[in-house]
Structure 1
Amino acid sequence: MDLPTTSAPLLGWTFDGTLRTYQTEVLERIPVGTVGPLHVVAPPGSGKTLLGLLLATREGDRALVLAPTVTIRQQWVRTAESLAPTPASVSDDPERISDLTVMTYQLLSVTGDGSPFDDLARAVWAEELIATGRTEADAATWLAELAVDSPAAYRSGIRSRVRRLRRRFARRNPDELARVLHPNAVALIDRLVDAGVRTVILDECHHLLDHWALVVAYLAGRIRERGGSPRLIGLTATLPSPDDEAEYENYTQLLGEVDYEVPTPAVVKEGHLAPYRDHVMVIEPTPAEISFIRHHEERLHDLVMQLLTTPDAVSYLERQLQPEDEDEDEPGAGAEALLERAFANDFPLTRSCAVVLRVVQPQHPLLAAIPPLLLDRCTSEDLLIVLTRFAQTRLLGNPDAHRQWDYVRRALADFGYMLTDRGLRRGRDPLDTTLAYSAAKDHAAVEILRLELESEDADRVRAVVVTDFVEHGNSRGMIGDAAAGALRAFELLAADPVTVRLNPVLVTAQHLRASAGDAADLAAELTDLLAEPVLVREGSGPTREMRGPGIGSGRMVAALSELIRRGRIRLLVGTRGLLGEGWDCPAVNTLIDLTAVATSSATQQLRGRTLRLDPEWPDKVAHNWSVACLIPSQVDLDDTTEPRRLRRKHSHLWGPSADGDGSIVSGLGHALPPSAMQAFDRVLDKDPAASVADVEAFLAESRPTRTQTRRQWHIGEPYLSHERESVRIQRVPHAPLLHTARAAGAGSIGAFITGTAIAGGLVALVDVLGALSIPLVGGLALALLCGVGAAVAAAVPVLGRALRDRRRPAEVYRNAAVAIARTLHEAGRISPIDESTIRALRQDGDRVRIEVGGEQRDRAMVADAVEELFGPVRTPRFLLQTGRAESGRMRLSERIADRLSPGRTLLPIPRAIARRRADAELLHRHWQRLIGPCALHEFQGAAGLALLRVARSSEGRLDGTESRTRIWG
């Protein structure tokens, strides 16, 4: 029985408590009656439930809440009942629609047979056939026959239409969307609309990818059909990953851009989440895994040497470095001229061919003509680029080389790469699998727990170890080891004499295990808690399997959480699927993340497990650990997947800066101090003097205690809740950014000539009028003296500015960022940025930190361009040469000022600006106005290559530790 519909029933709901600062700010920032969906991002524990209800009550219409789990549904019911005038105003029964009805997404889910878009895509295809003149029956028959006779063509047609539908499904007619929904779901949605539901609150809305998004789109469409305006309120702790573009577009079509994001640091500072610290432990693979990696390295080297040392391959390299002479007017161009043409045509490929030629034929005469600067280390990427191009150019189109083409394809597949006629793409990489699921990470978990148990808060440690799988299905690279996953990690933790004291328990959907000495007692306690028997199976070894017939995993996890609260269990091991989103155990304060996921949603959901306040420990501080497995420096094989995964994980997270400056930052800068970051990068650069142990030693020296971390958060103190993008620059003393200051007025020489002429004219005029008799020599001296005075007056501002900029170099870097921002705005790429939000701060030594504020998209684009401007020079279209006027001539005052800052600087024009010459010239003009003389060079011909050589040989300007980050507060 539905509650009778009344006009705006939620307007009578009241909240008598005190709102948190950020909750008040959200309500103030989002006015009543805002058109379009509302989209709020806030971390777990920040009060999203109350905030969503208050947003709905301001509108007043009947509302529906959709939640991902039954547990979360019940949380909504309890909070709603505290606001509602009567309990009857709230319902979680689909048979009784009330003023606020709470349901799970699954209740309105689509049919479970395949993709919900397949049926809709087939219907669209049939409509297309009917539009060409076929009957409905003929179209259906033809599609059925195609599916049987040519399944590949049929699947291709369905896939192409599914892609189009996913991009625009929310705009389709609700009747068409209803075709893929279960009739019961359609009937329930229609009842909700008939009952007057106009507001839909979507909790954990990052789940709205694909079929749940389709359900919400249908519901919104039905409300519009009835003449209403649907109000969607999306609440989530994490935004979905844009990796799947189609699904991400579904999400953004429904909810649009984020209206407000509650930063996790704000919730911590107000005391509603526990302060925390992200730690990293860096390890290297086990000896068996290193053996596999070396074998991988040897096979790659053997493959390259086998294929690229053949006469045909060497001929290909020579042809790339010495392209055919296409200039009929200048036949027989020399080797250097042809080499210059090759670099101009395709710089990256030509450089890769050069370094590979040095590997396969070190004495080749062509190498003498190649600038040594360009012959740096030959990387795996160079080998793959050249091998791919050679295979496509010389093997694919040659019928006689068909077998060789197939051999190369199969060989590259062993390394995780798929070679096709379109190029090379990365597939399942055994090297990545080896590092991501290294057995050394399990040993790292043991070591981390030992460190925690040596701390001042050892008795309070309650830890959870989370993996991706119970057992990983791909065992390539796991030489002699058990399959990676929760089972393998638990066996090691239960066998260690230190960690076994934490009474570890493994829980998955199929397994419940404890250490052999603890299993019987634990089973008895679980039996008491669950009021159902939990039995221990006979076995041998350090662990025992337990089972509770008829006890679901949800009830078992809840019981284990209670034992963690009591301190009976202090270590829980499980998978992300069970211990990730939706699991709340406030007593947990230590997370060891052994997963390979790095998306924003997965990473932040995992970290959220430790951030709940613990009533048993008011001063709780959480430790969240990541583990990175790096290939040792002495193994000459490049792999960026593991360090890139570590950086991606931390790019989504905020925390106190590891360098101890008190700022709240994102990125690895809140987990690795500068010393460890430098050692980390040296290992990746294959510095023979660097080691993984060095990185861990620097980390061990700088890990603060929980007490120190709590103090660094400044909980309860006032704060400013705004974000800035930050780029850290390493100044180069002998090649500063500013060489000569901007010429003021006509310049000193012009001022001297003008001043002398004017003074001489006045002297002559006075003499002619007879007002004053001045000797000729005296008149000339007076005129020259006036000219010198004018020249000095013109030179002083120039010299003064040069001296000032040497004293305050940060101002010059700020002006560079302002020039970038103005250029991007005038080019139509960003909205105008308040230049007062752009600042530069001089830090220790020769470091400068540039900060950019404003709207997220715009500030990120400016920071990207600033980072590229001062980053390593690769293959830019334009170079900006600072300290040189376009004519190449400098005024006297400029030459004097240049003596104060000798040298030259070549900077790459950022790609966002270099796409059009007009935009590059715009930056050139802004640079001249804000900083000083400069020249714009387009990379072409001999001059361009010469400049590029100089630019690539110069020292990098980005901070070698962590150049890019975000700052909060």
Structure 2
Amino acid sequence: MIKSLDTLEFKFPWRSYQAELLKHFNSHIEDNHFHVIAPPGSGKTILGIEILRKLGKKTLILAPTLTIRNQWEDRMQSFFTETSNFEAFSFDVKSPSDITFSTYQSLHAFYKTFEDKNDYYQFFKTHNIETLVLDEAHHLKNAWWTCLMDLKKNSVFHIIALTATPPYDSSRIELSKYFNLCGEVDDEIAVPDLVRESDLCPHQDYVYFSKPEDLEINFIVDYRRKIADFNDEILKDEDFISFLTNHRFYKNPNWHLDELYTDTQYFSAILIFLNACGFEIDHQKLEVLGFEQKEMIQFPKLDLQWLGILFQNLLVTDREQLIEQEAYVLTLEKKLRRLNVFEKNTIDFVGEQLLYKSLSNSPSKLKSIVSIVNAERESLKTDLNCVILTDYIRKEFLNISSEKIDDINKIGVIPIFQYVRHCCDKPEELAVLSGSIVIIHKSILKAFEAIVSLDDFSFSPLEIDASFLLVTAKGKSKNSIVHIITQLFENGNIKVLIGTKSLLGEGWDAPSINSLILASFIGSFVSSNQMRGRAIRKDLDSPDKTGNIWHLACVDPTNLDGGKEVDTLKRRFEAFVGVTNSTIPYISNGFDRLNIPEKIPVESIETLNDSTLKRATNRILISEKWNNAIGKGTKLTKEVKVLKTGNLPYKKQQQIYYFDALRFFVVDLFFAFMLFYVEFAIESFNLILQRGLLYFIYAFLAAFVAGFGYKFYKALKLYLRHGYLYKKIGKMGLAILDTLNELSYLTSTRNAITVNSHLVGKGDVVCNLDGANAFENSLFSKALTQLLEPIDSPRYLIIKTSAFRKRLDIENFYAIPEIFGDKKEKALVFQKHWSHYLGRNKLIYTRNIEGRKLLLKARLFHVYNAFKEVTKEVMVWK
């Protein structure tokens, strides 16, 4: 133990959620990792200092910026020292002390100075540094992780990872690196805890939709028409069909098994295309995949995603293997380039990049911003404190006149400034703050001078409006001007501030913000959550503050679901926890909580926006909903939601999947039987008199089997395949939970945890643990999701089967979750508990020839759901 750390002691009472997190610290740190999600305002810096104090080891604290690095030292001296400052610290990683504060950049630069990396590892051993604190750990998806991973592999450290939002939407490789370094999430401080303790204000997210300009609509419609024409033509193209039927995968699958096993989607795309154009697929080709002659495959529809996979492989991934057909492949390439679907070695029939770029940049969003600002000003009057964040500055529009404002065709800081200046009331309350351009209204010069001397800055009137001034610092850093403009905003001299998310999105603090408009379309979960965090901080000067967060989306008129922009918003909302818009409010993450219709036709946008603006003005209701919803729970619980599939109306879908299909059959059979019996008895009365009662019974049974046998077979097969789905998923959950317990993953008592599985909404199934902690919930939900998702490449498969099931062609394939699939011993434990709850099965190892064949067969069974969202992990306050 380092003696100097004993002198540190937190001077204030711990907040309830902080005390709860610290209570479980010892059990979480047993694997040398403590990974915590803590939103802005939760005091995660103070928690980090308390944790390193508890560990009592020499510590290196790493932060993404110098500002955040310095905050650590300031918090330590302010909150953990009573009479004198703590002296045993350093800001230089090359000269470490008991506590060293540094940045990821500095460590990375230090790492590169060592030619022999063994000297780098030895440096930390020599200085006895045994604890690493990684602040804002989501930044580690960048190159900085390399020097830390190398260090971790060659030494043993306690790793404390703190973040507001893990980078869940990064690539699988980056996310894997992140969790390998930081460990699984151990605990989370929930937003509802912070709202309850008044450390965050009540808040709500709103989506304001816009319709593309006529030029954009014409472009989209023309693009979709060209793709549809190409799709129709290629399905009838005899040359292309011949090209595919002569492809090595289809012509001689036995010769290319390794390739087939490696890239199932490519082979699937070939089969799906041939099936779509009416080509009869030779069943012998499927036998190599483990399908028997009698088995049938339900091929999915050939949509643009499957077409994209097919051509991505033909034109890029597999091209070297098709060198003999290069001339023909080149003609395909030229055709797709003319359609603008093949650029930078990427096929995109959906138009995600091309159309998304057009819609995300749509000037229609400028009108949306004007509508929101006007509505918020009318609602809040002088209390308005609005910030608008976007991605680009667009200086080329700085001197555009009001008469030519409609010529603005891109969204950015200056276009937003021009629209708000021209279309909104009180332009004198408007300002711009970015790294390279600052604009204020001349009416606030006196307030500016009250903060700093005007001699330190130059002020140039704008060409198009002399009442606005361009502000330039004379030898001052940009941080100085940021501080001044922020203070003017906090003082109420500026009511609408437009800036870039790169400058104001992370680390910037202006507690008075009560309306935030996110006009940013480049971003991840992390950046979106950081920007959103600006508006939900409490304001000591306004204890009744509520925050409105506005998200903009330009709707694709050719897509009833809203298109790519709405999809992007839906993914972002997975990282946001908030209160629902429902009559009976509850707290959850996800887009569904806003109660926005699934289908968003263009003609309904105006009505939808009017309703949203009306709801947003009722800020008292937001506070009431938070208070009501918080009172219904004590913690955030992670649930796995199995989504209703298919296009059948809910009542019919319900009968097939979620009710006992056999029970419906019995009811149906009873009425049919009564009619059949009466009719048969009347018609066969003479038969009883002539042949006797026994003959009548035989005749009746024969007629019954002929009339109802097939119906009974279908109902029984349906029941065996689906049964009570929510009960079956509950049993899967029990198998996972008991396996976690037997393998000692649980830190809580097994008897204190129960599996809860039930139906919600319009037919979704929800499954979660009651009585588990955040770490156990995380392990459980991840395992259940992997079990239910379309099969990828697990080491072990479990097949729910029996001789009876196999005869009826109803084998079910499931992937053994990764946590149990790394070793056979663990897989066998899971199989044991599966057998207990779900009956007979086979365990298949997929890394040998027979196993890979069954794996491919399993993938093809799941191919119908390849691009569908089958499950979703949801956070709910309970």
Instruction: Tell me which residue corresponds to 1:512.
Output: 438
Higher Cα Rg, which structure: 1
- Greater RCO, CA 8 A, separation 6+: 2
Report matched runs for 1:620-639 at 5 Å: 620-633=545-558
Which of 705-714 and 501-510 deviates more? 501-510
Percent of residue pairs identical: 20
Instruction: Tell me which residue corresponds to 2:198.
Output: 271
Q: Give 1:430 deviation, angstroms.
A: 2.2
Report matched runs for 1:142-541 at 5 Å: 173=118, 175=119, 194=127, 199-209=131-141, 212-213=144-145, 230-241=157-168, 243-244=170-171, 248=175, 251-301=178-228, 310-313=237-240, 315-316=242-243, 348-355=269-276, 379-385=303-309, 387-388=311-312, 397-401=324-328, 403-408=330-335, 410-411=337-338, 414-415=340-341, 417-419=343-345, 429-455=353-379, 457-471=380-394, 481-498=408-425, 500-501=426-427, 503-514=429-440, 519-533=441-455, 534-541=457-464
Task: Call closer, same or farther: CA 1:717–1:31 in 2, change over 3 Å.
Answer: same
Task: Call closer, same or farther: CA 1:444–1:218 in 2, change over 3 Å.
Answer: same
Does structure 2 retain, via aligned residues, the 8 Å contact 1:418–1:426?
no
Does structure 2 retain, via aligned residues, the 8 Å contact 1:395–1:405?
no
Which of 486-495 and 428-437 deviates more? 428-437
Query: Using the alignment, how far apart are the partners of 2:173 and 2:817 within structure 1?
Result: 29
Instruction: Tell me which residue corresponds to 2:680.
Output: none
Instruction: Tell me which residue corresponds to 2:780.
Output: 859
Task: Call closer, same or farther: CA 1:214–1:13 in 2, change over 3 Å.
Answer: same
Instruction: Tell me which residue corresponds to 2:491.
Output: 566
Does structure 2 retain, via aligned residues, the 8 Å contact 1:508–1:575?
yes
SS in 1 for 2:14: coil
Q: Which one of 535, 539, 543 corresponds to residue 610 of structure 1?
A: 535
Which of 387-396 and 915-924 deviates more? 915-924
Does structure 2 retain, via aligned residues, the 8 Å contact 1:62–1:197?
yes
Question: Partner letter of residue 280 of structure 1?
Answer: V
Task: Call closer, same or farther: CA 1:834–1:609 in 2, change over 3 Å.
Answer: farther
Query: Using the alignment, how far apart are the partners of 1:299 and 1:733 within structure 2?
Result: 39
Task: Call closer, same or farther: CA 1:417–1:623 in 2, change over 3 Å.
Answer: same
Which structure 1 segments of 5+ residues have no match?
Answer: 1-5, 125-171, 179-185, 328-342, 359-372, 474-478, 684-688, 743-805, 872-876, 890-904, 931-939
Instruction: Tell me which residue corresponds to 2:13.
Output: 18
Query: Using the alignment, how far apart are the partners of 2:244 and 2:585 within structure 1?
Result: 53
Instruction: Tell me which residue corresponds to 1:782.
Output: none
Instruction: Tell me which residue corresponds to 2:874.
Output: 965
TM-score norm. by structure 1 comes to 0.64
Does structure 1 retain, via aligned residues, the 8 Å contact 2:90–2:97?
no
Instruction: Tell me which residue corresponds to 2:844.
Output: none
Question: In angstroms, what is the RMSD of aligned CA positions?
Answer: 5.3
Task: Call closer, same or farther: CA 1:504–1:913 in 2, change over 3 Å.
Answer: same
Does structure 1 retain, via aligned residues, the 8 Å contact 2:636–2:875?
no
**Deviation digits for residues 317-376 of structure 1 (CA, Å, limit 9, x no counterpart):** 7889x977999xxxxxxxxxxxxxxx9996554444454679xxxxxxxxxxxxxx9899
Question: Partner letter of residue 40 of structure 2?
Answer: P
SS in 2 for 1:568: coil
Q: Which one of 656, 678, 685 corresponds to residue 598 of structure 2?
A: 678
Query: Using the alignment, how far apart are the partners of 2:613 and 2:91 within structure 1?
Result: 55
How many residue pairs get matched? Answer: 734
Question: Partner letter of residue 627 of structure 2?
Answer: H
Does structure 2 retain, via aligned residues, the 8 Å contact 1:396–1:405?
no
Instruction: Tell me which residue corresponds to 2:572.
Output: 649
Pair 1:43-2:44 in alignment: no
Does structure 2 retain, via aligned residues, the 8 Å contact 1:532–1:548?
no
Task: Call closer, same or farther: CA 1:827–1:92 in 2, change over 3 Å.
Answer: closer
SS in 2 for 1:679: coil
Task: Call closer, same or farther: CA 1:920–1:495 in 2, change over 3 Å.
Answer: same
Does structure 1 retain, via aligned residues, the 8 Å contact 2:138–2:167?
yes
TM-score norm. by structure 2 comes to 0.70
Does structure 2 retain, via aligned residues, the 8 Å contact 1:842–1:848?
yes
Task: Call closer, same or farther: CA 1:396–1:623 in 2, change over 3 Å.
Answer: farther
Query: Using the alignment, how far apart are the partners of 1:459 and 1:571 within structure 2?
Result: 11
Does structure 1 retain, via aligned residues, the 8 Å contact 2:428–2:443?
no
Query: Using the alignment, how far apart are the partners of 1:79 and 1:94 within structure 2?
Result: 15
Q: Give 1:666 deviation, angstroms.
A: 0.8
**Deviation digits for residues 195-227 of structure 1 (CA, Å, limit 9, x no counterpart):** x765444332333455644565688899x6xxx
Task: Call closer, same or farther: CA 1:354–1:623 in 2, change over 3 Å.
Answer: same
Task: Call closer, same or farther: CA 1:216–1:27 in 2, change over 3 Å.
Answer: same
Q: Give 1:908 deviation, angstroms.
A: 6.7
Query: Using the alignment, how far apart are the partners of 2:529 and 2:207 within structure 1?
Result: 16
Q: Give 1:46 deviation, angstroms.
A: 0.6
Pair 1:89-2:68 in alignment: no
Query: Using the alignment, how far apart are the partners of 2:50 and 2:140 within structure 1?
Result: 22
Instruction: Tell me which residue corresponds to 2:481.
Output: 556
Question: Partner letter of residue 30 of structure 1?
Answer: F
Does structure 2 retain, via aligned residues, the 8 Å contact 1:65–1:201?
yes
Question: Partner letter of residue 58 of structure 1?
Answer: K
Does structure 2 retain, via aligned residues, the 8 Å contact 1:64–1:200?
yes
Does structure 1 retain, via aligned residues, the 8 Å contact 2:385–2:489?
yes
Q: Give 1:919 deviation, angstroms.
A: 12
Query: Using the alignment, how far apart are the partners of 1:400 and 1:99 within structure 2?
Result: 66
Task: Call closer, same or farther: CA 1:10–1:648 in 2, change over 3 Å.
Answer: same
Q: Give 1:621 deviation, angstroms.
A: 1.1
Does structure 1 retain, via aligned residues, the 8 Å contact 2:336–2:342?
no
SS in 1 for 2:389: strand
Instruction: Tell me which residue corresponds to 1:799.
Output: none
Task: Call closer, same or farther: CA 1:651–1:472 in 2, change over 3 Å.
Answer: farther
Instruction: Tell me which residue corresponds to 2:472.
Output: 547
Does structure 2 retain, via aligned residues, the 8 Å contact 1:598–1:646?
no
Report matched runs for 1:713-792 at 5 Å: 713-714=626-627, 717=631, 719-727=633-641, 732-735=653-656, 736-740=658-662
**Deviation digits for residues 446-503 of structure 1 (CA, Å, limit 9, x no counterpart):** 2222332343x34322111111222499xxxxx96444322222222222133x5472
Pair 1:839-2:756 in alignment: yes
Instruction: Tell me which residue corresponds to 1:103.
Output: 101
Task: Call closer, same or farther: CA 1:219–1:858 in 2, change over 3 Å.
Answer: closer
Does structure 2 retain, via aligned residues, the 8 Å contact 1:724–1:851?
yes
Task: Call closer, same or farther: CA 1:398–1:605 in 2, change over 3 Å.
Answer: same
Does structure 2 retain, via aligned residues, the 8 Å contact 1:441–1:629?
yes
